[in-house]
Structure 1
Amino acid sequence: MNGIWIEVTVITKSEALEPISGIFYGLGCPNVAIEDPEDLLSREQGPLTWDFADINILEHKGNAAVVKAYFSEEDNIDEVVETVRQKLEEIKSLGLDIGEGKVTYRKMHEEDWANNWKQYYKPVKITDKIVIKPIWEEYEKKDDELIIELDPGMAFGTGTHETTRMCIKALDKYVKPNTTVFDVGCGSGILAIAAAKLGANHVVGVDLDPVAVDSSKENISFNNLNNIEVLEGNLLDVVSGKADIVVANIIAEIICVLTEDVKKALNEGGLFIVSGIIHDRVDMVKEKFAECGFEVMEINKDGEWNCIVAKSIG
C-alpha cells in the first residue's frame, strides 16, 4: 500500500468544514481530513487519541480551519481542483462564510504521512468492551475487553471517527451468537472485525475497492480470526445467502442506493445499521427506508453525524 498521494487542501473556517468535506465526498474521495481549531483545544487538554481527521492538525493552529483530501496519482487533480473551486463559490453564494477559501495541492509520499501521524495514534476504548489498538502500540488488556488490532494505512481512518464509533456501539448492542453480519464498504475491515469479536458466527466484508479488500484481509490476520470473508464487488453480485445484520458506514446518498439490495440480503426481521449521515440527510434516509420496508428503531447522534438502526419488516 506504499505510494504517492496528492493532498488537496482547502483553508476555510470551522462553520464551513462540513459542506466543504461534502464536496470531496461528492467527488468519490473517502480520504478526507478535517482540522478544526475550535476542536483542537479540547483535544490538547483531553486524552491523546487521534483520528485520520487529525493528520497534521498541529500545522494550522490559529483561526483557520482546514479540509484535506487525498487522491491517487491517477486522478485528474487539475480537474478536481477546478471543481472544488467552483463548488466553493456555490457555497459562498449561499451566504456561508468560507474564510480564505484557498485551494492548494501537493504530492505526498505515504511513508512521510505515516511518520507524521503514527506517533499520535494511541489505543482508544470505544465501548465497555471494544478497544482499538494500533499494531505498533503496547496495551495491557483489562478484564473482558476485546482488542481490535488495526493498521489503517494511508487510505482509511483509525476507527475513532464518530461514524465508526456509533456503528461499533450498535454492533455491540445487536450482535448475538450465531449472527451473520455483512459489512458493506468494509474499508479497513474494522466493523467486520468488531462484529466477529462480539460473537458473530459468520461475517462477510464487501468493498468495490481492491485496496480496501487487501487492507481488510491484512487487519483480519492481525486479529487471528477465521470467520470473516472479504469479497471485492457489489453486495448482491458477490455475496450469497442472507444476513441478520448489514452494517454500512458510508454517506447517505450511497446508503439510499444500497437500501433495496440490502433488503434482499437480510433475513426477515434483520437489521440495517447505517452511519455517515449528516443531520440534513436523515429524513432522506428515513424516507428511503420506509419506501423499502424498513422500520427505524433508533437514531443516534455524535457531533455532526447520525447512525440509524432499522429493522426489515415484511
Structure 2
Amino acid sequence: MPWIQLQIPADPDNADQLEDLLMEMGAEAVSMEDAADQPLYEPDPGTTPLWHQTRVTGLFDSRHDIDQLCSDIKDAWHQQTQQSLPDIDVTLVEDRDWEREWMEDFRPIQFGRRLWIVPSWHQPPDPEAANLSLDPGLAFGTGTHPTTALCLEWLDGQDVSGQRVIDYGCGSGILGLAALLLGADHVTGVDTDPQALEASRENARRNDVDQNRLDLYLPEEEPDRVADVMLANILAQPLIGLASHLAGKVKPGGHLVLSGILSSQAREVMAAYEPWFVMDEPEQREEWTRLTGRRHDG
C-alpha cells in the first residue's frame, strides 16, 4: 500500500507543535530531520536539540484525500497559531520496511587500521580489530561527523596502551570507549548533560567494558585527576574558555586532542593552549579542524 508523505519546513520554536498537530490529524508516523546539514552537539541540560532549519515529515494512510488533508492541516495550524503554514511538499511513497531501510543506511566504518565503529545489528568486518558497537543517535554522535572521525583516527594512530585518558564532553562515550578498546587503562568521561553520561554507561555495557575502567562525572563533580591524554570534542569558544582547566588535567609530556573547531577558528584556539603545549599543525577535514599538542615537560 502506498503512503502519503507530507514534508513541512519548521523552525525550532514551532517544530514540536507541528509534530503534535500532524499526529492529531492522523499521521501514522512523524519524524524531524535537518534541512540544512547543520551538525548537532551535546545539548544543554534539560533541552531537546533541534536544527535551525528543521523539516517535519508526516506519513499518512493513502486513503486520505490529499487536498483535503493539506487544507485541514493548514486550517488547524492557523487556528492554533494565527500564522500561515509554509507550503507542504506532498509525495506518494511505496510501502517499504522502513526500519530495515533505515538500518541499512548505517554500516561499519573503519578509522585508521585497527578501529571500527559497528552498528549493533552488523557483524564486525574484522573480528580481530578494536570493534566498538554503537547505534546511531541524534545528538551524541557515532563517528560519522568529521570532528569525531578526526579524533578516532588520531586515537587509532597512537599507542595508548596502559594510559589514562580524559574525554571532556564525552557525549555517547565514543572517544573514551574507543581509547579503552585500543588498550587505554582508564577513562574519565565528563559532560554537562546527565543523559550523555547515561548514554556512555549504556554503550560501555553494550561493549562489555569493565565498569572499573570508566568513570563518568558532571563537571562540578569532576575529580582532581591528571591524564596522559586529554580528548575534548566540543566547540571553539568553550575550548578557549576551558584552556587553563584542561591544560591542568594533562601530565607533563601528555597529549592534547581538540576538535569541534571550524578551520577559521583554529589559530585562535591554538593560541589559547600554547602557554602549556607545543601545538602541532592543524589537521583539516571539510570545514572542520583537529588540533593536537604535547604538554611542556616543565
Q: TM-score range by the shorter chain?
A: 0.5 to 0.7
What are the residue-to-residue correspondences of 1:1-314 with 2, within 5 Å?
A: 65-67=36-38, 103=53, 106=56, 117-142=102-127, 144-226=128-210, 227-234=212-219, 237-290=221-274, 292-313=275-296, 314=298
C-alpha contact 1:272 1:310 (8 A) present in aligned 2: yes
C-alpha contact 1:9 1:66 (8 A) present in aligned 2: no
- Corresponding letter in the other structure for 1:161: H
TM-score, with structure 1 as normaliser: 0.64
Aligned length: 229
Larger radius of gyration between Structure 1 and Structure 2:
2
How far apart in 1 are the matches of 2:39 and 2:231?
Answer: 27
SS of residue paired to 1:241: coil
Shift of 1:175: 3.8
Shift of 1:246: 0.4
Aligned to 1:30: none
1:143-175: per-residue Cα shift (whole Å, max 9, x none)? Answer: x41100012433322212111111011122334
How far apart in 2 are the matches of 1:196 and 1:138?
Answer: 20
**Compared CA separation, residues 176 and 280, structure 1 to 2 (3 A):** same
C-alpha contact 1:204 1:231 (8 A) present in aligned 2: yes
C-alpha contact 2:141 2:174 (8 A) present in aligned 1: no
Aligned to 2:80: none
**Compared CA separation, residues 266 and 216, structure 1 to 2 (3 A):** same
SS of residue paired to 1:246: strand
**Compared CA separation, residues 284 and 139, structure 1 to 2 (3 A):** same
How far apart in 1 are the matches of 2:227 and 2:33?
Answer: 40
SS of residue paired to 1:174: coil
Question: Which structure 2 residue ranges, 5 or more long, are not aligned?
Answer: 1-7, 13-31, 59-97
1:167-210: per-residue Cα shift (whole Å, max 9, x none)? Answer: 01112233432210000011111101110011111111111101
Question: Which structure 1 residue ranges, 5 or more long, are not aligned?
Answer: 1-6, 11-23, 25-54, 85-102
**Compared CA separation, residues 75 and 233, structure 1 to 2 (3 A):** closer
TM-score, with structure 2 as normaliser: 0.67
How far apart in 1 are the matches of 2:55 and 2:237?
Answer: 27
